[in-house]
A and B are shown apart, each in its own frame.
Chain A
């Protein structure tokens, strides 16, 4: 029994350097997630600030209109479909690195969710904070950057972290455009060894460990940001 199991382990991960499917896949997964998070953060914050500024001051009418369309479309369609459209339609006729396509697709997708999370954070800050900033002579932008955003960011941190964990797991559909990510790597091993259990469980474990690690980091960060709540 044990011999059998060890043999399975050997066949699935050691023989013919099959573990490389997992590590190479993991690298792709991490690269896609990391850069998609960056795009999502930057674009999401910009959209959130445009939307919140519009809600609070009435400025940016046209930009706000486009942001709303963007949010509706992105949040109203599955990420796999967006990925396929960007790969086969938008970049259909050009030769482009698939990982780049995935980064773009997941980044644009994530931005929509980040935007709404951050906007809700901004709107949750008491209007008195804006007024206090204005009454001291700070401009709207200065108030936003020094007073509102730091507080909003702290409030939405758990929701943002959750969004990134979702994103990390969502990249597992990269296989649809034949990117060899972590999930796809496990699947390749399965197709070679005709053994489903070990490679897929290994893939699941790796995702789980990453998510647990992320969760822990976020808890740490939250605790650090919460120091001003101490009484």
Chain B
């Protein structure tokens, strides 16, 4: 589904991604771990072009999206949901409006249809009673579940998660991870940057270890955690587990 070829990204003189070659198949749940500053968030943000790659190709279903025009990029982004560390809900809109804004503005659904869909999604994330409230009235965990619902409203083919639980109080991490597990079980293609090793072990079809702008090692979760080969990964795992 996504083919990344020799992806490089620099911020000024700082080279953050130093050539990444990866393929993400439909239905895969790829979890990316690694120390901070390793480039994992940048990699994720390159996939939907929130960061413009300096070099390399990103093929989404065969089309190199780094060569597309702005309006074509917007079309691709509709099909890639993204969940942010800091939720980025729209504070001036009700929860329901947060979810219906994009489908309605983009002419994909009428307001009435979008409202129905929003309520379905709110049921799914267990927050139907919050439909008419504003983001400021919600807890962090609830906000993140709404952010996931908002992405799902676009019926994306793949979901990108950028440290979705890092800004949450510990007692709220579980509710978000549970929702993500549900999504995974529904067959959603997911790319997740996280520090939640338990989630990686349980949900990932593949775990990727990034350090210093390159993918150092990757494997299925069993192999990855029980039998790491690279010394840097061994050190990382011994620190986080």
Contact = CB atoms under 8 A, between A and B. Distances in A.
A and B are partners in one complex rather than unrelated chains? yes
B60 interface: no
Interface in B101-143: 101-102, 105-106, 134-137
B77 A128 contact: no
A154 B93 CA distance: 13
Contact of B90 (A134, A135, A147): A147
A228 interface: yes
A136 B136 contact: no
B71 interface: yes
A127 to B, nearest CB: 9
B102 A138 contact: yes
A146 B93 CA distance: 10
B144 to A, nearest CB: 13
Nearest to B138: A231
B232 interface: no
B96 interface: no
A200 B77 CA distance: 63
Contacts of B29: none
Interface string B60-95: 000000000011001101111110101011111110
Contacts of A128: 84, 86, 88
A137 B134 contact: no
Contact of B150 (A134, A136, A231): A136
A132 B153 CA distance: 13
Contacts of A150: 92
B92 A131 contact: no
B48 interface: yes
A146 to B, nearest CB: 6
Interface residues of B, number: 32
A134 B90 CA distance: 13
Contacts, number: 78
Interface in A113-152: 126, 128-129, 131-140, 142, 146-147, 150-151
Interface in A20-52: none
Given A150-B92, A229-B136, A136 B84 contact: no
A28 B31 CA distance: 68
B111 to A, nearest CB: 13
Interface in B7-66: 48, 50
A230 interface: yes
B106 to A, nearest CB: 6
Contacts of A231: 136-137
A190 B90 CA distance: 56
Nearest to B48: A135
B190 interface: no
Given A131-B84, A228-B136, A230-B136, A137 B154 contact: yes
Contacts of A230: 134, 136-137
Given A132-B84, A228-B92, A229-B91, 4 more contacts: A128-B84, A135-B82, A154-B92, A230-B136
20 contacts: A126-B88, A129-B88, A131-B82, A132-B89, A132-B90, A134-B74, A135-B81, A136-B102, A136-B150, A136-B154, A137-B74, A137-B154, A138-B106, A142-B105, A142-B106, A146-B105, A151-B90, A227-B134, A230-B134, A231-B137
Closest 8 CB pairs of A and B: A137-B78, A132-B88, A135-B82, A136-B102, A228-B134, A128-B88, A137-B77, A137-B74
Interface of A: 126, 128-129, 131-140, 142, 146-147, 150-151, 154, 227-231
Interface of B: 48, 50, 70-71, 74-75, 77-82, 84, 86, 88-94, 101-102, 105-106, 134-137, 150-151, 154
